[in-house]
Each structure stands twice: as structure tokens, then as C-alpha cells.
Amino acid sequence: MATNKRALVTGLTGFTGRYVEAELVAAGFEVYGIGERSSCLPRYTQVNLTDRSALHRVVAACQPDVVLHLAGVAFVVKADVDAFYQVNTLGTHNLLDAIATEAPKVGCVLLASSANIYGNSKQGVLDESTLPNPANDYAVSKLAMENMARLWFDRLPIIITRPFNYTGVGQSEAFLLPKIIGHFQRKASTIELGNCDVFLDFSDVRAVANAYRQLVEVRPIGKVINICSGKSHSLQEVVERVGKIAGYAIQVKVNPSFVRKNEVRSLLGSAELLRSIIGSWNIPPLNDTLEWMYHSPLP
């Protein structure tokens, strides 16, 4: 267990950041955070990743032992395409420059990329050797971030993670599983979705946060690592599972405007490398995650 170690977490006030903070604190880290939202959290600074001088000031003041870079623009239907590149790619460059300049003794920098870089790969189970085939600007911005980060491998102790889909209490209903859960919690009779025959690999945010914490402790520097469950489920199956939890069936209506032309239709990952690095890693079954979400209070 780490003691008196400082962790800097970007996107601390976001969905994933709160769970990562809990993991790090439990492991003995003193957690500092940055993000674009205002917050009353201790050791937190409101900073935009595009503000290079502000990033330098924060990193210099913090002097982190480890950095977990979770901040970024997520892939949602109406996202600003320019923001994908400005934040996910250039923002990460600004952060790495600040770390290299201001925190020369940092021991590990974990970058959260995305399994979306694999795109619509023909391969069944995707491991880290699968060639990227990004199908949208979000994925391209993340792959560009990865390629850019490799230029810093000789100067910074970097780990790149590729999380597949994950969910949990507190995730916005802009994402599919919280949207489905929310409709059942409100006892809605119908729900509008896009393509329900999409098969995705879903993990629990608590397991993802645990994996991140273990990785910054083990420090497999220079590795690219999938974070995934190794099981895929269709959205139709998710709707049926939540219906059993809620005790009723909901009518699904397909809204053509929700069907993305560049949608990834199947995404199933291999977690073999992750488990070989961190050893024991418990990930809740999807049903347990859905139960947890359904029985949590509505926001």
C-alpha cells in the first residue's frame, strides 16, 4: 500500500474520477485533482486542458508521484467534433509537457484512451495487438493521443489504457445503460433507442477504478492495456435484464435519428494482459452492476 504518495487525477469531478479517488485514498494516496468544473473538493483546481500555463502551475505546485489522466470529451451523439481533438489530443499534449517540465520525479503517468480505437474490427476478441481501425472522430482523437504520447515515452513513465464500455451509479443518461436504467426507475412504458443489435463489452466502473489504481502501483511502464470484462451483451439483452430486475417489460421503439452511421457494432475485449500484470481482479457480473444502478436513488 502506498503511503504519503501524491496522485494527480484529471477529470476528478467526472463520473470515473470519483471512483478512482476513492480507490486511491483507500490505498493511502493523497489525491489532488483538476477539471473544467468548479468544485469545493479539497486539493482541487479548476483548469482547462487547453490552458497550458495553468497546467504548468498546478503540476508544479502538486509535484505528483503518479498522474491519472481521465479527463476528456466523451463520445456522445451531439459532441463538438473540434473539442475531441482540442481536448483529447492537444489537451493531453499540454498535460504531458507540464508533467515533463514541472514534475521530473513522477513515477507513473496513466493515460485513459479508449477501445473505440479498434473500430469495427473483424477480429472476434480484441487484444492489444489488434490493429486500430477508428470509425469516428472521437476514436481518431484518442488514437492520435496514443501516438502523440509515444513521443514522450523516453521522457515520462507512461501507461496507456484502453477501457471498453463501462457504467455505474452516477453516469449520465447521455450514455445508453444509465438511460435504460433511468426509464425503468421512472416506470416509463416506452423507451426510444437506436440499434439494439449492438454487442458491447460492459464493465463496472468500480472494477475499472480498481484496475487503474493497481496499474499505477505496479507500474508496467510503456504498456498499452485493455480494461474490459471479456464478455459482450446486446442492448436488447440489457433491456430484458433490467426488465426482470424492475418486474415489468418496457416497449422499445427504434428512433432512426439515434442510429449512428459510424457506430461500432461489436466490441469485445481480452483482459488477459491486464490480469497478467495486476493478478487478481474481480469484476462484478453485469447483472450485479445493473441491480446496483437500478436500486440507487434517482439523481
| CATH code, domain with 130 | 3.40.50.720
Per-residue pLDDT at 195: 82
Three-class SS state of 255: coil
State how far the Cα of 161 lies from the Cα of 113, in Å rounded to an integer: 6
Dihedral (Cα; 169, 174, 178, 181), 10-degree rounding: 140
Per-residue pLDDT at 76: 65
Q: Which three cell numbers stand for residue 96?
A: 504531458
Dihedral (Cα; 64, 68, 72, 76), 10-degree rounding: -160
Per-residue pLDDT at 1: 47
Three-state SS across 198-224? CEEECEEHHHHHHHHHHHHHHCCCCCE
Residue 59 lies in a domain: yes
Assess contact for 205 and 196: CB atoms under 8 A: no
Q: Which residue has the cell 523516453?
A: 154
Per-residue pLDDT at 94: 98
Per-residue pLDDT at 19: 98
pLDDT means over runs of 10, the chain (299 residues): 81 96 97 94 94 97 98 75 93 98 97 93 85 92 98 98 97 94 97 87 97 98 97 94 98 85 76 96 96 91
Residue 150 lies in a domain: yes
Query: Where in the sequence is the domain holding 39, given as residue range(s)?
Result: 5-168+205-229+269-283
Per-residue pLDDT at 262: 61
Q: Which three cell numbers stand for residue 183?
A: 426509464
State how far the Cα of 96 lies from the Cα of 294, in Å rounded to an integer: 39
Residue 250 lies in a domain: no
Provide the domain count of the chain.
Answer: 1
Residue 111 lies in a domain: yes
Residue 145 lies in a domain: yes
Per-residue pLDDT at 261: 66
Per-residue pLDDT at 286: 97
Residue 153 lies in a domain: yes
Residue 239 lies in a domain: no
Q: Which residue has the cell 481518431?
A: 140
State how far the Cα of 104 lies from the Cα of 150, in Å rounded to an integer: 17
Global pTM reads 0.94
Q: Which three cell numbers stand for residue 150?
A: 509515444
Per-residue pLDDT at 3: 58
Which of 285, 287, 195 has the alpha carbon at shortest distance from 240?
A: 287
- In sequence order, the 6+-apart residues with CB closer than 8 A to the CB of 240 are none
Residue 244 lies in a domain: no
